[in-house]
Amino acid sequence: MNTTKDGGRYRFALGAAAAALAVGVWSVPALAGTVNKQTARLYQLQAAFHAAATVHDPVNGDSADVIEQRIRDMLALWTADGTLVKPAGANAGLYQGNGDPSDPATCPTPSGNPANEGTLCTFFKYVAGSFQPANKFVSLAPSYKTSFDIHGNQATVYFECHYFNVAIDPVSGSPLWNAVSHQVFSGGAQKVQGQWLFSHADSAPPPPVPVP
């Protein structure tokens, strides 16, 4: 009688252990799949950043309407309270909050106060070279210099922006491809209602050559 009970208990324990092992085996690839999916979405976020920062008409230059749409596309990649710090050079300082490029109240010109230069809209409309009408810049980023570290709904983000002037050389008729600026995006992203958005960034020059 006791042997039967002990055998039943043994079979129950063995079954429980097997079930736990199965859950463990299946949870690892499931977790990896989730991480890979989130990483892919962060790569898409980064790609959208470079697309918005790149001239759309390298021959004639972008119109005012196209540039404003590119600024809107860029701002849509950030949280409402996103922040960006420009550490040096003209208009260095803190830019915070999103903004609307057609609303001077939320997209003012740089204030000259490093503690609060304006909004993200201020930075992209008045400071960032790739959005200035006279410039025909493309933004390139080496993939091996890009990294994301995901912690739930937060992620640390690092990538580089290498800007080149692709205006047409009147002599050769080909794009100049002159390097004009190299910047680092070192910051973070946050998942808001299922969508990854940039939450903060420090911008600084990267090493001179992006060596792997």
Whole-structure pTM over 0.75, yes or no? yes
pLDDT tens digit sequence for 51-94: 999 999 999 999 999 999 999 999 999 999 999 999 999 999 99
Number of domains in the chain: 1
pLDDT tens digit sequence for 98-136: 999 999 999 999 999 999 999 999 999 999 999 999 999
- Indicate which CATH number applies to the domain containing 83: 3.10.450.50
Assigned domain for 74 exists: yes
- Three-state DSSP state, 211: coil
Mean pLDDT for 151-176 is 94
Assigned domain for 210 exists: no
What does the pLDDT read at residue 210? 54
What residues make up the domain containing 62?
2-204
Closest C-alpha to 205, from 86, 119, 124 = 86
Assigned domain for 66 exists: yes
Q: How many CB atoms lie within 10 A of CB 157?
A: 23
Assigned domain for 212 exists: no
Assigned domain for 50 exists: yes
For residue 31, what is the enclosing H or E element? helix 2-52
